[in-house]
A and B are shown apart, each in its own frame.
Chain A
Amino acid sequence: MIRFLFRRAAQGAFVLWAAFTASFVLLFLLPSDPVLTMLGADGQGANVDPVEVAALRTEYGFDQPVWLQYLSRLGAALRGDFGHSMSTGAPVTTEIAAALPATGLLALIAVCLAVVIAAGIAIAATSTSHGWLRRFLLALPPLGVAIPTFWLALVLLQIFSFRLGLLPAFGAEGWTSLVLPAITLALPVSASMAQVFASSLDATWGSPFVQTARAKGARRPRLLTRHVLRNAISPALTVAGVTLGAVLAGSVVTESVYGRPGLGRLAEQAVAAQDIPVVQGIVVLAAAIFVIANLGVDVLQARIDPRLLSGGAR
C-alpha cells in the first residue's frame, strides 16, 4: 500500500509540474501584452505613455528573459507563492482563497446530488422488470449529457425563479441560492455517471458469481447490496473522479449565469484579461484537485477490490 501511494504521489507531482509549465508556455505564446491588457481592462485599448508601460513591465518582471521568468515563478510556486493578480494587485493565493469556498461548496453539493441521481437511475433501470421503464430510464443519461449547461441554467431560472418565484436568481446568500446552480452542475455530470454505472451493473448481474449466489438462494435485494454493488461500483468511481473536472469546468458557465462568485468566474476573467499569475494559480489548483480526487478514488478502489494492489488482472 505504501509503495502504491508513493508511486501515485510521484505521478501527481509530475502532473502538477506539467500543468504549471503548460499554462506558462500557453500564456507566453499568446501574442498580446499583459501590461497593455491590464491598462485597457475595459477592452478599449491602451493609450498610455510608453515610459510608464515600461516601468510597469519591470515591476511585474516581464522585462526579464522568459526562461528566467519561468524559473522564478516555478520557484515561488513551490513555496506556495503565485505572485500578485495583475488586475487587482491582490496576492493570487488571496484571490483564489476568496473564490474557493463558494465553488467548493457548490461543487460538493453538485457531486453528491449527481451521485444520488446517477445511482438512482442506474439501480432502478437495472433492477426493474418493466421493459418500458428500463428503456425510459436508460434514455435519460444521453439526454442529460446532450443538454448545454447554459441552456439548462436559463430554463431552470425561468421556471423556478422568474415564474414560480421559489428560488433566487442570483447571489450567494443562504442555501436557497445554491439549489438551482447545484442542479445545473449536477445533471450533466450525473448523466455520464449513470451511463457507466448502469452498464457496469448489467455486466455484474450477468457474471457467473452472481448466478452462483442466486442458485444458492440469495434474494435480489441481498444480491444487490452484498455482491453486485461492490463489484460494479469500481468503474463508476473512476468516472466520479473525472467528473470533478467537469464540475470545475461547468462552474465557469454556471457561476456566470447565476451571478455567483467563485473559481469559475475568476478563471474566466483572468483568461480574458490575460492575468497570468491568476490563471496559473487556478490551473495548478485544478490539477491538484484532480490529482487528489483520483488518488482518493484509487485508494477507495484498492480498499473495495484488494486485487488492484497486487497488480493482478481484474
Chain B
Amino acid sequence: MTRPARLLAVALAPLLALTACSAAQPATPTSSAATTPVAGGNYVHALEAEPGGCLDGAQQRFHVALNIVRQATDSLVDLDPETGKIVPWLATAWEISPDAKTFTFTLRDDVTFSNGEKFDATAVKANFDRISALGAKAVGAGPVLAGYTGTTVVDPTTVKVDFAQPNIQFLQGLTAAWLGFISPTDTQKTADQICSGDYSGTGPFVIDSYTKNDSAKLSKRTGYAWPSATAQHTGEAYLDSVTFTFLSESGVRVGALQSGQVNSVSLVQPQDEAVLTGSGFSTLVASPPGLVQTWIANQSSALGGDEAVRKAISLALDREALTTLYGSGFAPATGLLSPNTPYFTDLSAYITHDPTAAAATLEEAGWTLGSDGIRVKDGVRLSLNVINVFPEQAELLQQQLKTVGIDYQIRKLDNAASSQAIAQGDYDFYVWNMTRADPDVLRGIFSSVGGAQAYSRAQPSAADAPLAAQAGETDSAKRQALVDEASIELAKSYVAIPQLTRAWVYGLGKDVHGFAVDGEAKILLYDTWIG
C-alpha cells in the first residue's frame, strides 16, 4: 500500500497545499500559553495499524498493540527515558542477587486492579506463571522470562523471582508494556479471551471495548494513585476517555488531525511533517531504543559468512543519503544500539562511507569485476540475497552497492513469506531493527550459544563470552565494559553492520499537552490533557 500511497501523495499535493494554506491563515498562537492542566475530555488517537487482533501484552511485541496495552496496565518498574535509569512503579524497591538469578521486589500496598482485586505478591506470581505457561505464544514477554523457574510469595508485599541462569535484562524487560499486570482472576482466562481485551489492569485507563479493525475504547480509572516515578503528576489521569482508532493511510491520519477529528496520530510521514508544522501543529520525535537498523549477516550463508563482503557492504553504504528517505530523527548509526539505549557503545570508527576502500577490499579478497559490473569469484556472482524489512530503501541500496560491484537483489516478501525465508535460512543478510532498551538484545541475535541465534545463525566467536557475561553482570560499570567488548567484536568482523538510527514521529493537535512516550517509545497518555 505504500506505493499507491506515495503516488497519491503526489496526486493530492495541490489539495494538501490548499488545506495547509487555509489552515495557516488564522495563525493564532492559541493555547501554547496554557500551562495549567485541565481535567476532562474525550481523546482520540489514530494508530497506523490494527493491533493484530490481540490486546494481550504478553502475546505481543507489535508496538501498535503495546501502545494501547500501556495505558491500561502498569509495570513493576519503569525506565526513565531521560536518564536510562530504572525507577520505581508498582515495586518500590528491588534487589538482585550477585549471580543475577534471583530478583526480590518490594511492592506498593495500595494498588488495586480495576475489577477491585488487590495487587500483591500473589498477583505477581500469577502473572509470571501465566506468561511462562503461554510458551511460544508469549512472543513479547517470553524472552524476558527466559529460564524462569518460579516465583515465591515471601509475604503480601515481597516477591522473589528465580531463573535457572543469570538474567540481568529481566529488570529492564519488566518496564515494557508486555509485562503489564492483569488481575489474578484474569490470569485464569484463555489466551484468546485476554487477546480480546477482556481483562482488568491496574493502569490509569480501563479497556472498555476493543472492536477489531475499528477502535479500542478506554476510560479513566477512578481512584488511580500509583503512577510511575517518571510521571509529571499524581492521582487520576486528566482525560475522561481515550479512543484509539486504526487508520492505515498516512494521508487520512494527517487529514483527520488537521480537520480536528483526532487529537494525535502515529507515524507521520516525511512529506506530511512540514505540512503539519507549517500549519501550527506540533510533532513529537521519539527515538526507539535498541538495535538500530542493522544488516545482520547470516553467518551460515556463503556471502554472509564472507568477511570481505561484509566489510565492503559497510564501506559502500552511504548512510547520509539513506536518511533522505525519512523524516526527522533518522541519522547514520553510530553504534549497534541507538544512543539512547542504556549501555550504548560508540562504534563510529567502524561505520564509515568509503566506496574506494570497499572496492579495494573486494579486489584483495579475489572478487573481480565481471563484464556486467558485478564482481565474480570462483564463478560465483556477488549477488546478495537480502531480506530487508524496510522496502523503501531497496532502490537506493541497489544503486549504492552497484557502485562497488555488488548486486543487491530486491525481494518483495509479505509477512508470511519473510517468516518462512528466515526459518529456512534463505538469505545472506537480514536488515532489521528491534526496540528494546537493554543491550541484551545483542545476545539474543548475535550469540552462537543457546537457541536464539535464528537471525544471524552465528558461528562461535570472540563476542560470545562477553555477550554471555554481560547477561549476569550486576555491576553497571563492568557490564558496560562487557557490552563494549562484545559490540566491538561484532562491529570489527562486520557480522553486524549498523545502518540508521530511526525515529517515530507523532503528530499532535494544537490543544494537546503532556503527550509523552515511555522508555521504549510507547505512547503515554497519563499526563496528557486538552486545553
Interface residues of A (CB under 8 A from B): 30-34, 36-37, 39-49, 52-53, 55-56, 85, 87-90, 95, 98-99, 148, 150-151, 154-155, 157-159, 161-163, 165, 168-172, 255-262, 265-266, 269, 272-274
Contacts and interface: CB of A to CB of B under 8 A. Distances in A.
Contact of A272 (B46, B414, B430): B414
A159 B259 CA distance: 11
A294 B191 CA distance: 41
A32 B11 CA distance: 36
A158 B19 contact: yes
B422 A46 contact: yes
Contacts of B46: 170, 259
A41 B420 contact: no
A256 B414 contact: no
A42 B255 contact: no
Interface stretch (B378-386, B450-458, B510-518): B450-458
Contacts of B211: 98, 261
Contact of B249 (A36, A44, A165, A256): A256
B136 A169 contact: no
Interface of B: 1, 4, 8, 11-12, 15-16, 18-19, 22, 46, 50, 52-54, 61-62, 135-137, 139, 190-192, 195-196, 211-215, 245-249, 251-252, 255-256, 258-261, 387, 389, 414-420, 422-423, 430, 432, 434, 444, 451-452, 454-455
A146 B172 CA distance: 54
Contact of B259 (A36, A41, A169): A169
A48 B4 contact: no
A45 B50 contact: no
Contacts of B135: 49, 52, 55
Contacts of B215: 171
A161 B214 contact: no
B261 A170 contact: yes
Given A39-B139, A44-B432, A55-B135, A32 B214 contact: no
Residue from A39, A95, A257 whose CB has the most chain B CB atoms within 10 Å: A257
A53 B432 CA distance: 23
A157 B255 contact: yes
A301 B211 CA distance: 40
Given A163-B19, A259-B245, 14 more contacts: A32-B419, A36-B423, A37-B416, A42-B61, A42-B415, A45-B418, A47-B452, A49-B135, A154-B249, A154-B251, A161-B259, A255-B213, A257-B249, A259-B247
A160 B12 CA distance: 14
20 contacts: A32-B417, A32-B419, A34-B416, A37-B420, A40-B415, A40-B419, A46-B422, A47-B454, A87-B53, A98-B211, A99-B213, A154-B252, A158-B16, A162-B255, A165-B260, A170-B252, A257-B252, A259-B213, A261-B212, A273-B415
A262 B432 CA distance: 32
Contacts of B54: 87-88
Given A90-B192, A155-B12, A265-B50, A33 B136 contact: no
A169 B139 contact: no
Residue from A89, A163, A259 whose CB has the most chain B CB atoms within 10 Å: A259
A33 B455 contact: no
Contact of A265 (B213, B261, B430): B213
A33 B423 contact: yes
Given A33-B420, A53-B136, A87-B52, A150 B8 contact: yes
Contacts of A39: 136-137, 139, 419
B419 A36 contact: yes
Nearest to A30: B416
Contacts of B251: 154
A56 B50 contact: no
A291 to B, nearest CB: 26
Contacts of B137: 39, 56
Given A44-B61, A48-B136, A32 B416 contact: yes
A89 B212 contact: no
A180 B477 CA distance: 60
Nearest to A269: B50
Contacts of B418: 40, 43, 45
A254 to B, nearest CB: 11
B415 A41 contact: yes
Given A37-B415, A44-B434, A47-B444, A260 B213 contact: yes
Given A171-B215, A255-B213, A43 B255 contact: no
A90 to B, nearest CB: 6
Contacts of A45: 387, 418-419, 422-423, 430, 432, 454-455
B68 to A, nearest CB: 14
B389 A44 contact: yes
Contacts of A171: 214-215, 245
Contact of A274 (B248, B389, B416): B416
A85 B192 CA distance: 10
A165 B259 contact: yes
A59 B211 CA distance: 27
A250 to B, nearest CB: 15
Nearest to B143: A47
Contact of B420 (A36, A52, A88, A273): A36
Contacts of A30: 416-417
A156 to B, nearest CB: 11
Contacts of B50: 265, 269
Residue from A39, A170, A272, A274 whose CB has the most chain B CB atoms within 10 Å: A170
Contacts of A262: 213
Contacts of A273: 415-416
A17 B61 CA distance: 38
B12 A154 contact: yes
B491 to A, nearest CB: 22
A272 B415 contact: yes
B212 A151 contact: no
Contacts of B1: 256
Contacts of B255: 157-158, 161-162, 169
A1 B4 CA distance: 49
Contacts of B247: 169-170, 259
Contacts of B214: 171-172, 259-261
B59 to A, nearest CB: 9
Contacts of B444: 47
Nearest to A95: B212
B140 to A, nearest CB: 10
Contact of A89 (B61, B195, B419, B452): B195
Contacts of A55: 135-136
Nearest to A54: B136
A148 B259 CA distance: 25
